[in-house]
Amino acid sequence: MGHFKDKRSVIGLVLVTMVLLVSCSSQSQKSSEFEIDSTSSGESESGSDEATTDFSEIEVVDYILFESSSGIYTFLVHLRNNSDFVADATGLFSVYDTNDTLIGQDDRESVTMLPGEDGLATGFVELEPLMDVSSLKLEYLIADVGFQKFSGENPVKASDVHLETDSYGCSVRGIVSNQFSEMKDSLQLRTIVLKDGKLYDGGFSYIQTVLPKKDSILDIRLERPQPCPTGNLTVLFLPNLGDDKIFNP
């Protein structure tokens, strides 16, 4: 998803290194008090016909690593598009041990972000079970970004967004609305949960068939295998739209 037929590509490397301190919560209550951010319009009024070549317009806000099942560790990367253009970014995740030896690596599909909007990149690496992730060094390498001029608004929004705990863990649920003029397939939806302003969890899912201007059910299972968090929470609703959904809604 999200690859442009006539995009201008900027190829470079932005290396971001951080040592993560990750703690897993054992809370078991359903979350009922949190802030929802699901109405960003993505409007743009750029004064130039030329796509930006400023690679730094893609901001790596935060990222975390945690064990989502035995020996399987999930990478979540919170990105932000600070440009006035649609941005299509791809990256590489790497994990190093205390001796700076590479022990895990993964790359994933591109993340498409409308102007001024956020995105979620995900990755998975296999490591020894029950590792102390706070001792590991992580790198997220942005390898390629394509930009394209855009002056519309996001055709997909969410409402009644809330967290629900079930026997499998925590899910983000609600209603998805659209302004499409024709049926669309494989609408990819992503979400980020911030706790006290910091990246805590995230996930993604697909709606296989979307009818124009008809609501759909939002149901995204979060990656952490535990009940929903409580406290000061913000949920970001982040559609990852392809070309046809952005430029030919």
Instruction: Give tens-digit pLDDT for 195-223.
Output: 999 999 999 999 999 999 999 999 999 99
Is residue 56 classed as helix, strand or coil in its secondary structure?
Answer: helix
Is the same domain home to 128 and 172?
A: no
Is residue 200 classed as helix, strand or coil in its secondary structure?
Answer: strand
Check residues 37 and 45 and name the one with the higher pLDDT: 37
Q: Please check whether residue 113 lies inside any domain of the structure.
A: yes
Is the same domain home to 90 and 70?
A: yes
* Residue 213 near residue 179 (C-beta atoms within 8 A): yes
Evaluate if residue 57 carries a pLDDT over 80: yes
Is the same domain home to 162 and 63?
A: no
Is the same domain home to 52 and 116?
A: yes
pLDDT range class, residue 141, cuts 50, 70, 90: confident
**pLDDT for 22:** 34
Residues above pLDDT 70, as percent of the chain: 78
Of 28-37, 150-159, 176-185, the range with the lowest mean pLDDT is 28-37
> What's the pLDDT tens digit per position in 167-192?
889 999 999 999 999 999 999 999 99
Domain boundary among 131, 149, 167: 149
Evaluate if residue 30 carries a pLDDT over 60: no
- Give the total number of structural domains in the chain: 2
Element (H, E) at 243: helix 243-247
Mean residue pLDDT of the chain comes to: 82
Is the same domain home to 83 and 15?
A: yes
Q: Please check whether residue 69 lies inside any domain of the structure.
A: yes
Domain that includes residue 204, residue range: 156-247
Is the same domain home to 58 and 145?
A: yes
State phi, psi for 133 to the nearest 5 degrees.
-70, -20
Of 13-22, 79-88, 100-109, 209-218, the range with the lowest mean pLDDT is 13-22
> What's the pLDDT tens digit per position in 98-116?
999 999 999 877 899 999 9
Check residues 47 and 242 and name the one with the higher pLDDT: 242
Element (H, E) at 69: strand 58-69
Is the same domain home to 55 and 140?
A: yes
